[in-house]
Amino acid sequence: MGVDYVTLANPLLIDFVLKHFPDLKVVISVCANTDSLQKVEYWEDRGVHGIVLSKRLNKDFGSLEQIANNSSVKLQVIANDLCIPDCPLNTYHNLVSSFGSRSAHDGSCYPHQSYATLSCRLVMLLDPSAIIRGPMIRPEDVHHYVDVGINVFKLVDRTSPTNFLQLVMDAYGSASYDGNFADLCSFFVQQKVEEPDFSGPRIIKEDELNNLASLERLKNHLRFTPYIDNKTLDGQIDFVKKNDCTRRSCSKCGFCNKLAHKAVTIDSQVKKIVEGNIRRAIDLLISGR
């Protein structure tokens, strides 16, 4: 078929491909959570071509530079896949997404709704500083990563429409974006399920929530799109590099919290509606109905 690369997280499949298909270049998926030089060296010793580093390293320039200076594999970081800072649900989220992508007997996907996505979206809704404290890499900040030896930037998402992907490519290709950074993040793409009359989230009624399939149909109303003034975030990365944010308490520091007040706006009505919807959805999952 002419495939040059495969991106894998399953260590058994990785060794299988390395042994039986030596001409295929293997890239270690971000789902393998490679977040240290020791882990990089493990995969490098096995003969992989590249590694997508854990998103938790995106604001850890000391570790990124150490890894880049002591490794010969192609290192990648994901630039526009938002998550809460050093997300404690990351491993669980990846597993749920993997199982949820399987096909049912009739060829359709198993209905599922990620508890992790709902939980993290609620955190961002209630504390907008979690958005900019997370692993986001702005187009304007890419050169900081190049300076420490990271030269490949992965942009998401494979499930998004062409016009979104073109916008993202243009922004990162020009190293600048004058507008809402949320426009570049599939996490905030509002309409994820085809809904002809959709004009924004509405209150989900109690009797509409009865099973996982209903959550999938109502996904549009569990999402929100903030306004993140991209240019207002100029300088944040300099603070992060200078202060080694991965080893500081965000609650005690407060820099990003103050920045979020200036840069992030969430419509108050949308916030009220989506917060209520997410809480009801989480309650459905916890209830076991």
pLDDT in tens, 132-162: 999 999 999 999 999 999 999 999 988 788 8
Q: Quote the mean pLDDT of the chain.
A: 91
Question: How many Å apart are CA 243 and CA 157, to the nearest integer?
Answer: 31
Q: What is the pTM of this model?
A: 0.90
pLDDT score of 252 more than 70: yes
Confidence (pLDDT) at 215: 83
- In this prediction, residue 130 carries a pLDDT of 95
Residue-wise pLDDT for 278-289, tens only, equals 999 999 888 866
- Which of the four pLDDT bands, split at 50, 70 and 90, describes residue 104? low
- What's the pLDDT at 31? 94
**What SS3 class is residue 7?**
strand
Q: What is the mean pLDDT of residues 26-34?
A: 96
Say how many CA atoms lie within 13 Å of 221 toward its Cβ: 22
Q: What is the pLDDT of residue 99?
A: 77
- Distance separating alpha carbons of residues 177 and 171, to the nearest angstrom: 5
Residue 112: pLDDT band with limits 50, 70, 90: low
Predicted pLDDT at 105: 64
Tell me the pLDDT tens digit for each residue of 169-217.
Answer: 999 999 999 999 999 998 998 777 788 888 899 999 988 887 777 888 8
Ordered by start, the domain boundaries in the chain are 88-136+182-283
Task: For 183-215, give one letter per residue: b (16+ CB within 10 A) or e.
Answer: bbbbbbbeeeeeeeeeeebeebeeeebeeeebb
pLDDT at 111 over 60: no
Output DSSP code: residue 15.
H
Q: When comparing pLDDT for 248 and 150, which is higher?
A: 150
CB atoms within 10 A of CB 143: 10
Over pLDDT 70: what percentage of the chain? 96
pLDDT in the model for residue 148: 96
Asked if 115 and 282 count as a contact pair (C-beta separation under 8 A), the reply is yes
Residue closest to 237 by CA, chosen among 61, 76, 81: 61
Rounded to whole angstroms, what are the CA distances from 203 to 137, 210, 228, 289? 33, 15, 24, 20
Residue 284's pLDDT is 86
